Chains A and B, each alone.
Chain A
Amino acid sequence: MSFNDKLVTIQGLSVEFYTEEGIARVVQDVSFNIERGQCYALVGESGCGKSVTALSIMRLIPDPPGRVTAGTVYFNGRDIYKLSEKQMRRIRGKEVSMIFQEPMTSLNPVYTVGDQVVEAIMLHQKKSYDQAWVDAAEMLRKVGIADPEQRAGEYPHQMSGGMRQRVMIAMAMSCRPDLLIADEPTTALDVTTQAQILDLLDSVKDQTNTSILLITHDLGVVAERADKVAVMYASRIVEKADSDDLFAEPLHPYTRGLLDSLPKLSQRPKRLVTIPGMVPEPLSFPSGCKFHPRCPLGSDDER
């Protein structure tokens, strides 16, 4: 594997949030690589640091209160934490873009959806308004919006959630980025729409050789789409594996717990298995292995 295959290299990333109650270590010593054309999944429960990790790739951690305290993020061979804000703005949207969990609020309500796609195109490709419109309509057609010329003139509130997420994808993909970060892209959608959106992401990825960083808590989504998986728990990556291996042979007790808690079609229905307890608060992480209070294998020397 040559260095060029690696689009993103994250090494020892730590992010802290300075709050009034104390310092919250939200991400600790996270390292992973994303290769070109790969779908990398970051899995974990709410509040485990998935989204913050993703935001740190775009250098969008709100500062204050957040700060990257250690580690490096290489994107396309550049250490992005050494770039100026201006250079960073040129990367955002052009080389790496992002779609969000909540399609209902991630579009600006006062502009037509067409205008919003056009803005992204005009900003990064230096095209005229008219040209950008042609591109925007084409992009909307690609993400499966019927009659794109007309729908481009509509406002977000006239569209359904799935539609809006398609617009978001069109916007994010309009400049053919190298990496698309999808932060729980289907969580707010109903199941049929979920499948459509995931299929769309897949096909977009294949067409443009864009890598996808898929952030989710849905292992079902991961099993089907991802090439590689990293499982995060309480600010750390606890397991990294190829997606097939992970499902066949989970190593960490937390991963095993997650997989066990999925309902299985092959078994008679019974009470679903759960992992006892709650995700610890970042302000009061347990010592040692952070999973030990909930771990079925827990022994004293992990504390």
Chain B
Amino acid sequence: MPNKQTPKSQWGISYGELVWREFVKNRLSVIAGMFIIFLFIVAIFAPFIANDKPYVVEIEGQRYFPLFRHLGAIDYGVLLAGVVAVVQLILIRRNKKRVDPSERGEVLLKQIMISAGVIVVGLVLLYLFVPRRLDATNYHAMVESGRAENAVFAPIPYGYARTNLSVREQPPSRRHLLGTDDVGSDVLARLIHGSRISLSVGFVAVGISVVIGVVIGAVLGYFGGRVDFVGMRFIEIMMAIPQFFLIITVVAFFPRSLLNIMIIIGITSWTMDARFIRAEFFKLREQDFVQAAHAQGIGLRSILFRHMLPNGVAPVLVNATFGIAGAIFIEAALSFLGFGVAPPTPSWGQMLSLGVTTTGRFLWWLSVFPGLAIFFTVLAYNLVGEGLRDAIDPKLRKAA
């Protein structure tokens, strides 16, 4: 059995830990990473940060919690996923201290399975049991008229969909920190809720493209020969099609939903991943440890994805961070052109396009703030990607 008394310092250092140590040395990347984590927190807690409904309000002596009642299954689902993710991160840290490295892989797998299970079951239950409520009450007006008392509002007391034509197209002021748009919605509130779209587009689209790319690349790289020849020609055809125009064409035929956009970005951007994995697998399949795995009677799928993939996944991980930045950018561009999600769902690219009104006036606050949000998010992902790329440098790899 693993010796529980083994001093920590002598435990093995995994390749992942080596990369992590190297990554942490790059301060700019770490700051960028922290910015992304901050964005995630904002996205998860968006309805609590910016909402036109108060947390607590007293109407005619009775206490209500309109904000919580109004949250939908998605909001609670995101919250649940966020909590599970945090618990998982804490567990991973704890594993490093408490669990013998030889068992870490198994333990981690078990934990991730449980976490995923909790999220899936939770989402199903939430969809079944959280009713959709439409609450059009104007609590601000009620408070002002004195019908409601002791209201506690969110820090930014505006919802992303709340329109107020009396304050439309106002520049930044104390009431509306980043101004209002053409229907009087608060720009900051929409910016905060828009982060959900941008981040989820990035992750889901890249997730789809990585899965497709890895599977195709692995098969091409491992089998080579004729399979590879046909596959590579297919990849080249895919690459020859200008991605953005293909997406615009496809989007024009399908309903403007977020999921469609994610899927379309995903299935048009896997070619790089496939090429990276193919190149790595060409190299890896000649390696002795792959031969050794064959000689042990290990199955092909296990050899491809358990033995070869972890050794060749590094370039894809780096590419994925750039890919997330790219997907956010594509989504913004689509929304800017009017092919993105339909209003009132906020998206940064769509907000950007509102800066120039139909009468030709330029409302700078409508363009600058979403523009900056896109800029910094894309920049942060690129910095993290570069930090990862440096950390995975071959010279370090030799040591592993």
A97 and B289 contact, Cβ closer than 8 Å, known pairs A149-B1, A153-B6: no
Does B204 sit within 8 A of A, measured CB to CB?
no
A44 to B292 alpha-carbon distance, docked (Å):
23
Chain A proximity mask over B183-214: 1 for CB below 8 Å, otherwise 0? 00000000000000000000000000000000
Chain B contacts of A94 at CB under 8 A?
Answer: 297
Does B146 sit within 8 A of A, measured CB to CB?
no
**Contact between chains at B12 and A110 (CB < 8 Å):** no
Chain B contacts of A106 at CB under 8 A?
Answer: 288-289, 291-292
Chain B contacts of A150 at CB under 8 A?
Answer: 3, 6, 10
- CB-CB contacts below 8 Å: B294-313 with A: 294-299, 307, 310-311
Chain A contacts of B105 at CB under 8 A?
Answer: 111, 115
* Contacts between the two chains (Cβ within 8 Å), count: 107
CB of B313 to closest CB in A, whole Å: 9
Chain B contacts of A157 at CB under 8 A?
Answer: 399-400
**Contact between chains at A115 and B102 (CB < 8 Å):** yes
Does B229 sit within 8 A of A, measured CB to CB?
no
CB of B328 to closest CB in A, whole Å: 30
CB of B158 to closest CB in A, whole Å: 49
**Contact between chains at A134 and B101 (CB < 8 Å):** no
Size of chain A's interface in residues, with CB distance under 8 A? 46
Chain B proximity mask over A161-184: 1 for CB below 8 Å, otherwise 0? 000000010010000000001000
Does A220 sit within 8 A of B, measured CB to CB?
no
CB of B22 to closest CB in A, whole Å: 15
Does B106 sit within 8 A of A, measured CB to CB?
yes
**Contact between chains at A112 and B102 (CB < 8 Å):** yes
**Contact between chains at B292 and A153 (CB < 8 Å):** no
Chain B contacts of A155 at CB under 8 A?
Answer: 12-15, 400
* A-B CB contact pairs (8 Å), 18 listed: A58-B295, A64-B225, A89-B298, A90-B297, A92-B297, A100-B292, A106-B291, A110-B15, A110-B400, A112-B12, A114-B102, A115-B105, A119-B296, A119-B298, A130-B1, A152-B102, A153-B102, A155-B15
B residues lining the A interface (CB < 8 Å): 1-3, 6, 10-15, 100-103, 105-106, 225, 287-289, 291-299, 307, 310-311, 399-400
A residues lining the B interface (CB < 8 Å): 58, 60, 64, 88-94, 97-98, 100-102, 105-112, 114-115, 118-120, 123-124, 129-130, 133-134, 137, 149-150, 152-155, 157-158, 168, 171, 181
Known: A133-B103, A155-B13. 19 other contacts (CB 8 A): A89-B299, A90-B297, A91-B297, A93-B295, A98-B295, A100-B292, A102-B288, A107-B289, A108-B307, A109-B289, A112-B14, A118-B102, A119-B296, A120-B296, A133-B1, A150-B6, A155-B12, A155-B14, A158-B12
